[in-house]
Homo-oligomer: A and B are copies of this chain.
Amino acid sequence: MSKKQSGNEDSIAELGLLRQIRRRAGAMPLASALSLGIGDDCALLDPGRGKEIAVTTDLSIDGRHFRLDWHPPEVIGHRALARGLSDLAAMGARPLAAFISLGVPKQLTVTDKSSPTWVSRFYDGLVTLAEQYDTPLAGGDLAESPVALADIVLVGAVRRGDALLRSGARAGDGLYVTGWLGGSAAGLEKLARLDRTSQRRPGRILTTGRPANGVLQRHFYPQPRIEQGDWLVRHGMATAAIDLSDGLSTDLAHLCEESGVTAEVEADAIPVALSANLEQALHGGEDYELLFTAPKHQQVPHVMAGVPVTRIGRIGGVKNRPQITLLAPDGSAKPLEPRGWQHFTQRRPFDGGATAGPE
């Protein structure tokens, strides 16, 4: 990265921003893995002996992955980091460091002495979650951009050979999820409804901090399952894993494709979030729960590092058809098509009105 720290006094705005980031990052306890943080050409990390490095990048753009008029800046920062941490969780890796490239319109950097800037609030949301998972913010980049965007990079470590892959599922394996599904999609639909019905300040429905509203909580502040992924690795219990970023139907299709298997899902076994319905649990994304498989006779606990685990179905052979079958409570079976979020098509079956959505 090319951090600007020169003595050029004309560039107060940027230097102020970068000092702020550096201070926030420096205030975190320096994890032992981070040998060198912000301020040089690269950050230096020491993964430790016998470890492999896991790396993931995720790009979030205003209007596609969030909306400036729907999501408070703290929420956008939280969600950007949660997305990256969730990818590490799905490999069973623990975070070593995060890097954030932020592009913002100039007005979001303007300092008003009475209140923090949008950028400052974005970092607040990101760093608050980072601290929760001992993840130092080790660098990144900042640029003016006509559209607000954030690219998050997570670097993690996992013992060599132990990473949970998408490709390890075998016929007969049980199929499990952590937590509850559909809550994020339900929150997004709620936002869309608020936007349509808001009389007072159309297009500016929510710009304040943490909402008390429970329906929005899972959409605004999803919790990455780092501890649960780590638990699975330490107990050697999972044959394959993926995180639910695009929706159960789509992410399970990814897992089946990479493993060369099929799957059966029991509709009434799915842990639907309190605020959500089955459609949202099947196709809504951004719950950031873990979907994993374990051998047929493996005893999988009902609670894993404090989060419930539910058996929702089983893996079948590759010759079965269709790729995914949904079993209804009455015993009838129908194909479950992947209907999660896809770029460049904007097809979002559970919410035709929303343009922000999972990736």
**Cβ-defined contact, A1 with B56, below 8 A:** yes
Q: Which residues of chain B have C-beta atoms less than 8 A from A93's C-beta? A: 42
**Cβ-defined contact, B57 with A7, below 8 A:** no
Complex Cα spacing A102 to B243, Å:
22
- In the assembled complex, the CB of A149 is this many whole angstroms from the nearest CB of chain B, namely 7
Q: Return the contact of A338 from the options B6, B42, B90, B166 (Cβ within 8 A).
A: B6
Q: Which residues of chain B have C-beta atoms less than 8 A from A257's C-beta? A: 5-7
How many copies altogether? 2
Q: Does A138 contact B (CB under 8 A)?
A: yes
Q: Does A46 contact B (CB under 8 A)?
A: yes
CB-CB under 8 A for A344 and B103, given A42-B93, A246-B2:
no
Q: Does A204 contact B (CB under 8 A)?
A: no
Q: Does A144 contact B (CB under 8 A)?
A: yes
Q: Does A99 contact B (CB under 8 A)?
A: yes
Q: Does A174 contact B (CB under 8 A)?
A: no
Complex Cα spacing A151 to B143, Å:
11
**Cβ-defined contact, A343 with B11, below 8 A:** yes
Q: Which residues of chain B have C-beta atoms less than 8 A from A64's C-beta? A: 143-145
Which residues of A96-123 are within 8 A (CB) of B? 97, 99, 101-103, 106, 109
**Cβ-defined contact, A46 with B53, below 8 A:** yes
- In the assembled complex, the CB of A257 is this many whole angstroms from the nearest CB of chain B, namely 6
Q: Return the contact of A1 from the options B11, B57, B146, B358 (Cβ within 8 A).
A: B57
Complex Cα spacing A165 to B338, Å:
49
**Cβ-defined contact, B63 with A35, below 8 A:** no
Q: Does A44 contact B (CB under 8 A)?
A: yes
Which residues of A40-88 are within 8 A (CB) of B? 40-47, 49, 52-59, 61, 63-65, 83, 87-88
Which residues of A123-174 are within 8 A (CB) of B? 138-147, 149, 151, 153-156, 158, 160, 163, 165-167
**Cβ-defined contact, A342 with B4, below 8 A:** yes
Interface string of A222-243 (1 = CB under 8 A from B): 0000000000000000000111
- In the assembled complex, the CB of A1 is this many whole angstroms from the nearest CB of chain B, namely 5
Q: Does A340 contact B (CB under 8 A)?
A: yes
CB-CB under 8 A for A8 and B342, given A41-B91, A61-B103:
yes
**Cβ-defined contact, A55 with B11, below 8 A:** no
Q: Which 10 A-B pairs have the closest CB atoms?
A: A11-B342, A42-B54, A41-B90, A151-B151, A6-B338, A59-B101, A6-B253, A45-B53, A59-B141, A42-B56
The 17 sampled A-B contact pairs (Cβ below 8 Å) are: A5-B254, A5-B257, A6-B257, A7-B257, A8-B337, A8-B338, A10-B345, A41-B88, A41-B90, A41-B242, A42-B91, A42-B163, A43-B55, A46-B160, A65-B143, A99-B153, A106-B344
